[in-house]
Amino acid sequence: MPVLVMKFGGTSVADLSKIANAAAKVQREVDRGYDVIVIVSAMSGKTNELVKWVGETSPLYDAREYDAVVSSGENVTAGLMALRLQEMGVPARSWQGWQVPIQTTSAHGSARFIDIPRANIDQKFAEGMKVAVVAGFQGVSPECRITTLGRGGSDTTAVAFAAAFDAVRCDIYTDVDGVYTTDPRIVKKARKLDKIAFEEMLELASLGAKVLQTRSVELAMRYKVRLRVLSSFEECDETSGTLVCDEEEIMESKAVAGVAYSRDEAKVTLFTIEDRPGIAAAIFGPLADAGVNVDMIVQNISEKDYDDAHPGAVTDMTFSCPIDQVPRARKAMEDAKAAGLINYDDLIIDDDVAKISVVGIGMRSHAGVAAKMFEALSAERINIKVITTSEIKISVLIDRKYMELAVQALHDAFGLDKA
Ligand code: ASP
Ligand code: MG
């Protein structure tokens, strides 16, 4: 039998009637002839509550016990989903991670998959079981302790099962009906995409479009798992939602597929640093050690080129990072200066910026995307503070108060409201 993976997020299993609604969708796929692997999240809000309980009991908790507690929400929904399916006459049973067993590393709280052996579940399918309901977000370490994969990890569980079982597709049921050209709360005319390429989804996911955990998209791209995002709360058929797939499946790509934004950015500038070999390493090494996720990096050219005979040239270095990491970034730079690793005249932090990006694989073959983006922003008199580009993305930092305006202007400029 062909295998289909269906994943239900927290809002899709938030109470018993929603679990029944999800189970009906599973039954329909069984009726269509699939062996189904259902991956469930905890009921919405449950994981947050469990995390809070751990913190209240033990502020410097043992990460192994954190995982033992926090993984339990998924166990409840897996059992309830299996029971509901049995009540409907569908042969189903639940599986906790260790029963499969979903083998992971022992990095508690952010474990990675080592292997998902098929034998146990395949045997049950061979015996007539139609649905394996698997608790998402969890696994078991080589030391036989329960692990979790990091918040949002059930998406990644689903993709990993789809890869392990050669599933025809991995359907991610959630509370939105697909992936949009941009956030519909900001742009009324945002349009649901029928298809989006893995690379594009990866950029959008890591840029703050919160539909899918970034890791799940990386995994889907690596194993070419066709991923579909669709709503639990609508009638759906084979064409519903958004298919995240290989670019080969997308006939004609527009230059830009979507506009993403990230509100909580900060810009850090080091003024008058020496321009010499090793200076970038001396800045970004300590930042990495301090756990600062540096995103954009811009180094000015200096007024004279470095050469061994004429040392003393200076330049400025600017980088961006998430706003909540600014204190760490500042301390790392001040410590590096105090230790004599780097020198700068001034450290200026602008924490009133947002990042806007246009993303599209079509950019590889369309010229003029950057010019069009900058024109659209200039027409709104929005000043650009930092620019970076990659093969399929152009990002700018702007004042946060213009964020919505910029997203709307770019959505219009690239005609994203039209199919
Ligand atoms: N329940 C976990 C969380 O809230 C995992 C998931 O739902 O994907 O992060
Ligand atoms: Mg999620």
- d(CA 380, CA 383) in angstroms, rounded, equals 9
Q: Cα of 211 to ligand 2 centre, how many Å?
A: 7
Q: Is 42 in the pocket of ligand 1 (CB under 6 A)?
A: yes
Q: Is 152 in the pocket of ligand 1 (CB under 6 A)?
A: yes
CB 412, CB 399: distance < 8 Å:
no
The two three-digit tokens of residue 78, written as one number: 């897996």
Residues 218-237 have pLDDT tens digits of 999 999 999 999 999 998 88
Q: Is 151 in the pocket of ligand 1 (CB under 6 A)?
A: yes
Residue 324 pLDDT > 90, yes or no?
Answer: yes
Closest-CA residue, ligand 1 atom 6, reads 152
Q: Cα of 320 to ligand 2 centre, how many Å?
A: 26
Q: Cα of 232 to ligand 2 centre, how many Å?
A: 13
Domains of the chain: 3-175 (3.40.1160.10), 249-419 (3.30.2130.10)
> 351 falls in which pLDDT band (50, 70, 90)?
very high
**Residue count of the chain:** 419
Residues 237-265 have pLDDT tens digits of 888 999 999 998 887 778 899 999 999 99
What is the reported pTM?
A: 0.87
Residues 161-215 have pLDDT tens digits of 999 999 999 999 998 889 999 998 999 999 999 999 999 999 887 766 678 889 9
Q: Is 47 in the pocket of ligand 1 (CB under 6 A)?
A: yes
Q: Cα of 11 to ligand 2 centre, how many Å?
A: 9
Q: Which atom of ligand 1 is nearest the CA belonging to 154?
A: 8
Q: Is 159 in the pocket of ligand 1 (CB under 6 A)?
A: no
Residue 353 pLDDT > 80, yes or no?
Answer: yes
CB 241, CB 196: distance < 8 Å:
no
Q: Cα of 398 to ligand 2 centre, how many Å?
A: 29
Q: Which atom of ligand 1 is nearest the CA belonging to 149?
A: 5
